[in-house]
Amino acid sequence: MAKILLLGQAPFGARVLEGLLEAGHEITAVCVPPARDGRPVDPLAQGAVDAGLRVVQRKSYKADDARAEVAAEVADIAVLAFVTQIIPLSILDAPRLASVCFHPSLLPAYRGGSAISWQLINGETRGGITLFRPDDGVDAGPIYLQREIEIGPDQSAGAYYYASVFEPGVADTLEATERVLAGDVEAVAQDESKATHDPLCRDEHAAIDWSLPTAKLHDLVRGCDPSPGAHTTHGGQLVRVYGSRRGNGERGGEPGTVVAVGEEGIEIATGDATLVLAKMAAGGKKVAAAEAAAAASIRPGTRLG
Residue 241 sits in which domain range? Answer: 203-295
Q: Do 213 and 123 contact (CB within 8 A), yes or no?
A: no
Residues 110 and 14 in one domain: yes
Q: What mean pLDDT comes out for the span 214-237?
A: 97
Kindly list the distances between the CA atom of residue 100 and the CA atoms of 96, 133, 182, in Å, as whole numbers in the listed order: 12, 5, 13
3-state secondary structure of 289: helix
How many domains, in total, are found in the chain?
2
Q: Are 9 and 32 in contact (CB under 8 A)?
A: yes
159, 174, 194 - which closes a domain = 194
Residues 97 and 217 in one domain: no
pTM of the model: 0.95
- pLDDT value, residue 31: 97
Of the candidate ranges 34-38, 61-65, 205-209, the one whose mean pLDDT is the lowest:
34-38
Amino acid at 44: L
Give the range among 40-44, 194-198, 211-215 with minimum mean pLDDT. Answer: 40-44
Do both 7 and 63 map to the same domain? Answer: yes
Judging by DSSP bridges, how do beta strands 143-150 and 230-234 pair with one another?
unpaired
- 224, 236 contact by CB (below 8 A): no
Tell me how far apart the alpha carbons of residues 166 and 32 are, in angstroms, rounded to a whole number: 19
* Confidence bin at 37 (pLDDT 50/70/90): confident
CATH of the domain at 286: 3.10.25.10
Q: Are residues 149 and 226 in the same domain?
A: no
Cα–Cα distance between 284 and 194 in angstroms, integer? 42
Q: 34 vs 57, 64, 67, 138, 201, CA distance in Å?
A: 5, 18, 17, 22, 22
Residue 253 has pLDDT above 90, yes or no: no
| For range 155-176, the mean pLDDT | 98
Say whether both 158 and 214 belong to one domain.
no
In a domain, 303, yes or no: no
Question: Looking at the structure, do residues 177 and 270 belong to the same domain, yes or no?
Answer: no
pLDDT at 165: 98
Q: Which residues pair with 239 in a beta bridge?
A: 232, 282
User: 28 falls in which pLDDT band (50, 70, 90)?
Assistant: very high
Q: Which pLDDT score is estimated for 282?
A: 87
pLDDT at residue 39 is higher than 80: no
More confident residue, 284 or 238: 238
Question: Which residue, of 150, 166, 194, is where some domain finishes?
Answer: 194
pLDDT confidence bin for 107, thresholds 50/70/90? very high
Domain stops at, among 140, 163, 194: 194
